[in-house]
Amino acid sequence: MTLVNANGASIPTLGFGTFRMEAADTERMVSHVLKQGYRHIDTAKIYGNEAAVGQGFKASAIPRPDVFLTTKVWVANYGRDAFLASVDESLKKLETDYVDLLLLHWPNTAVSLEEQIAALNDVAKAGKARHIGVSNFNTTLMKEAARLSRMPLANNQIEYHPYLDQQPVIATASELGMSITAYYAMADGKVIADRMLQEIAAVHKRSVAQVVLRWIVQQGCVVLSKTVSETRAAENAAIFDFELSADDMGTIAKLARPDGRIVSPDGLAPEWDVAG
Ligand SMILES: NC(=O)c1ccc[n+]([C@@H]2O[C@H](COP(=O)([O-])OP(=O)(O)OC[C@H]3O[C@@H](n4cnc5c(N)ncnc54)[C@H](OP(=O)(O)O)[C@@H]3O)[C@@H](O)[C@H]2O)c1
């Protein structure tokens, strides 16, 4: 498994996502993918499946230090006391003393960003998170969060797939020494039927899913994929033994469109950056 290094963190390039997964599927798949070779699991308090992630991890018998575990604090818990209690509850459910990466799940103004970042730092200082970061932050918020943080921020987890140009956020992350993790890499399944992607996949004798995941990792980003299928999990992991050409990379980037964003919940989404 390759790693993405950023501000002191070494993050396994491919992570297994657990959003919208029932507890039984989560436990089964987390155990399975860890045995299969995945070394990075992504969950969140709001997914309601941290206990199942913990059970799956235990069942895999993979040593704790070998696995990179990410969870996120939900916006309703950004007040200091609630924040600390949320992290403790996540750790208890995950049956671990620490997570490798703790993220603010979405920007939120109910509590000042300064207070949110201070809580993240304090959790890290207490040894409960090895690295800290954000999710769904625009470039302005990323810069502000980085300025406020005593510890360097390691990551911004964002929606990223061929239909959404995220160059402004990727460039800002690079300036700040941060990494990007792509979620919804398959555009919630929409990429699979794309003619252009099917043509590129045929040339490489790969699936569209593999081409899209490869397109993201070849840009130096971390990528998440979720599936309830053992076969698809294996397919999604087989992306480190082929390379897309510069032409392929450019052709896929040109699939981006102004209405390509899928995840933009009212009351949570910040003012998104517009690519030039
Ligand atoms: N930070 C945030 O706000 C945020 C938001 C959303 C997601 N995330 C994280 O990102 C992870 C990834 O997102 P996602 O998986 O939901 O979106 P996705 O990558 O766009 O995947 C969408 C669907 O594609 C299917 N799929 C997976 N592998 C496939 C393959 N090889 N061929 C065909 N279809 C395939 C899966 O369905 P099946 O299960 O039926 O295979 C999955 O439900 C989440 O699990 C979560 O951890 C974070």
What is the DSSP track for 227-266?
Answer: -S-HHHHHHHH--SS----HHHHHHHHTT--TT------T
pLDDT at 60: 98
Whether 237 maps to a domain, the answer reads: yes
pLDDT at 136: 98
Nearest CA to ligand 1 atom 24: 189
User: Once rounded to an integer, what is the mean pLDDT over residues 10-35?
Assistant: 98
pLDDT at 1: 77
pLDDT at 107: 98
Whether 217 maps to a domain, the answer reads: yes
User: Could you give the CA distance from residue 47 to residue 59 in angstroms, rounded to a whole number?
Assistant: 20
pLDDT, the chain, mean: 98
Q: Hunting for tokens 């040593």 — which residue is that?
A: 63
Whether 273 maps to a domain, the answer reads: no
Please tell me if the CB atom of residue 15 comes closer than 6 angstroms to any atom of ligand 1.
no
pLDDT at 10: 98
User: What's the CATH code of the domain at 187?
Assistant: 3.20.20.100
User: Once rounded to an integer, what is the mean pLDDT over residues 207-229?
Assistant: 98
Whether 274 maps to a domain, the answer reads: no
Residue 276 pLDDT > 90:
no
Whether 114 maps to a domain, the answer reads: yes
User: Could you give the CA distance from residue 212 to residue 240 in angstroms, rounded to a whole number?
Assistant: 12
Whether 155 maps to a domain, the answer reads: yes
Residue 17 C-alpha to ligand 1 middle, in angstroms? 7
> Do the beta carbons of residue 236 and residue 210 sit within 8 Å?
yes
Please tell me if the CB atom of residue 192 comes closer than 6 angstroms to any atom of ligand 1.
yes
127 lies in which domain range?
A: 3-253
Whether 125 maps to a domain, the answer reads: yes
Number of domains observed in the structure of the chain: 1
> Do the beta carbons of residue 262 and residue 187 sit within 8 Å?
yes
Please tell me if the CB atom of residue 42 comes closer than 6 angstroms to any atom of ligand 1.
yes
What Å distances lie between residue 175 and 13, 102, 179, CA to CA? 20, 21, 10
Percent with pLDDT over 90 in the chain: 99
Whether 270 maps to a domain, the answer reads: no
Q: For residues 222-241, b (16+ Cβ closer than 10 Å) or e, as one string?
A: bbbbbbeeeeebebbbebee
Please tell me if the CB atom of residue 100 comes closer than 6 angstroms to any atom of ligand 1.
no
pLDDT at 268: 97
Nearest CA to ligand 1 atom 27: 227
Per-residue model confidence as pLDDT tens digits over 124-162: 999 999 999 999 999 999 999 999 999 999 999 999 999
pLDDT at 4: 98
User: Could you give the CA distance from residue 172 to residue 201 in angstroms, rounded to a whole number?
Assistant: 30
User: Once rounded to an integer, what is the mean pLDDT over residues 56-63?
Assistant: 98
pTM for the full model?
A: 0.98
Per-residue model confidence as pLDDT tens digits over 74-125: 999 999 999 999 999 999 999 999 999 999 999 999 999 999 999 999 999 9
